[in-house]
């Protein structure tokens, strides 16, 4: 195709089986996905892009059973991706597995000083290549797909190996290959860890302020909404808006008439027996022992240490910059609060603990101090204990 990478379009089972045979035993395969999620609970995959040393294939997910891809994902082949989080969910949906060996170029870039770069930014920075621009409103379920969309999809895997090679070379120079590989494993595991339904109400901002019986009902109704959304494969907001969950929790309706008057609800939310199911969820919430209401673990930082969080955040940002790390990768404000509050977190083990945990302890214990070092830089120093 003029102006874009060459690729093979695969839209039949025989072609897909042949492709998987070609990829069997490959040391690495680039992978990306195109999907919609506007009207479904789970990602609705339309195209999967696969790249290897000798070519690129675009697989029509509307025509091909993708489950055999699981064998490749679970093999010794390294799967190279960029910003893998949503793609991992797609793979889990269609194959039921995640890659056994994952290398994410966005994660790796964070270990050489780039802050969550897009694929286009990474290609421009490392390769001097401008990727084909995609239309974020592309209908990936359209057939046939326009040439521009196909070219864009193929370009998403065209340069992954070049980027991996360059990033790994930089990581080796910094002795951080192990760090990046470990973080890829953590991200893959965390992405696919589904929280229990009892925690679904935590994602509703207004629900976090609910107390007592209202919190119990919110927990029960939000758990029901999660289950129903999965069963009917519709977004949560289509099943029941957040506002309605909170309204139901506060009003505790006992009949259809009262339920129908809840703000945020209309008839489409009550069809297909949903009204009865909501009332049953309300009843479960009303019967729930208040001790069984599951709340997020509250991270408490000692009052005397609260000012240290902001100061440490500023230092972490400078430290990360000085050591060619993405600050968010090194430690977020939440990480610092957990560490200072004595709660388990990312700073307790691995490369983060080795790099900054002891420094943080020394700072908060008064053994070290922060100082301006010119040009706006902030550095940690051995404390002189000499007041000025």
Q: Is the pLDDT of residue 1 over 70?
A: no
What pLDDT digit, counting tens, does each position of 313-370 carry? 999 999 999 999 999 999 999 999 999 999 999 999 999 999 999 999 999 999 999 9
Closest by alpha carbon to 320, among 112, 83, 106, 172?
A: 112
- The answer to whether 368 and 381 have CB atoms below 8 angstroms apart is yes
The sheet carrying 102-104 orders its strands as 8-10, 55-60, 44-52, 28-36, 78-81, 102-104
Q: Is the pLDDT of residue 235 over 60?
A: yes
* Lowest mean pLDDT segment, chosen from 18-32, 126-140, 336-350: 126-140
Give the domain extent around 283. 197-292
- The answer to whether 277 and 224 have CB atoms below 8 angstroms apart is yes
Q: Give the model's pLDDT for residue 377.
A: 86
Q: What is the pTM of this model?
A: 0.92
Q: Is the pLDDT of residue 134 over 80?
A: no
- CATH number of residue 208's parent domain: 1.10.150.80
pLDDT band at 129 (very low <50, low <70, confident <90, very high): very high
- CATH number of residue 66's parent domain: 3.30.420.10
Tokens 């200072």: give the residue: 340
Q: Domain count of the chain?
A: 3
> Do residues 97 and 204 share a domain?
no
Tell me whether residue 369 is in a domain.
Answer: yes
> Do residues 285 and 312 share a domain?
no
Q: Is the pLDDT of residue 263 over 80?
A: yes
3-class DSSP state for residue 180?
A: helix
> Do residues 50 and 157 share a domain?
yes
């Amino acid at each position: 195709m003029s102006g874009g990478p060459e690729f093979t379009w695969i839209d039949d089972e025989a072609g897909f089986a042949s492709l998987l045979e070609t990829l069997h035993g490959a040391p690495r395969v680039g992978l990306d996905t195109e999907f919609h999620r506007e009207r479904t609970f789970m990602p609705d995959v339309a195209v999967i892009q696969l790249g290897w040393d000798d070519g690129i294939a675009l697989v029509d997910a509307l025509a091909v059973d993708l489950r055999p891809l699981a064998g490749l994902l679970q093999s010794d082949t390294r799967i190279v991706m960029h910003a893998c989080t949503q793609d991992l969910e797609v793979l889990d949906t269609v194959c039921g597995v995640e890659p056994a060996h994952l290398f994410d170029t966005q994660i790796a870039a964070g270990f050489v000083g780039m802050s969550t770069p897009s694929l286009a930014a990474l290609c421009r920075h490392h390769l001097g290549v401008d990727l084909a621009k995609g239309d974020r409103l592309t209908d990936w379920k359209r057939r046939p797909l326009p040439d521009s969309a196909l070219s864009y999809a193929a370009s998403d895997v065209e340069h992954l190996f070049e980027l991996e090679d360059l990033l790994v070379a930089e990581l080796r120079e910094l002795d951080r290959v192990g760090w990046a590989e470990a973080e890829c494993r953590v991200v893959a595991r965390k992405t696919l860890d589904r929280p229990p339904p009892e925690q679904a109400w935590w994602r509703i901002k207004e629900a976090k302020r609910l107390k007592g019986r209202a919190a119990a009902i919110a927990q029960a109704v939000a758990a029901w909404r999660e289950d129903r959304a999965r069963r009917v494969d519709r977004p949560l907001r289509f099943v029941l808006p957040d506002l309605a969950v909170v309204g139901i929790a506060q009003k505790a309706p006992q009949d259809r008439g009262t339920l129908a008057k809840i703000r945020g609800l209309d008839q489409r939310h009550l069809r297909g027996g949903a009204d009865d199911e909501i009332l049953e969820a309300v009843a479960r919430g009303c019967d729930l022992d208040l001790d069984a209401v599951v709340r997020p673990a509250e991270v408490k930082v000692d009052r005397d240490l609260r000012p240290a969080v902001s100061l440490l955040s500023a230092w972490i940002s400078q430290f990360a910059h000085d050591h060619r790390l993405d600050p968010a990768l090194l430690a977020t404000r939440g990480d610092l609060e957990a560490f200072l509050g004595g709660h388990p977190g990312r700073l307790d083990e691995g490369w983060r603990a080795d790099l900054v945990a002891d420094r943080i302890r020394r700072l908060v214990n008064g053994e070290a101090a922060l100082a301006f070092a010119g040009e706006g830089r902030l550095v940690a120093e051995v404390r002189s204990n000499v007041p000025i």
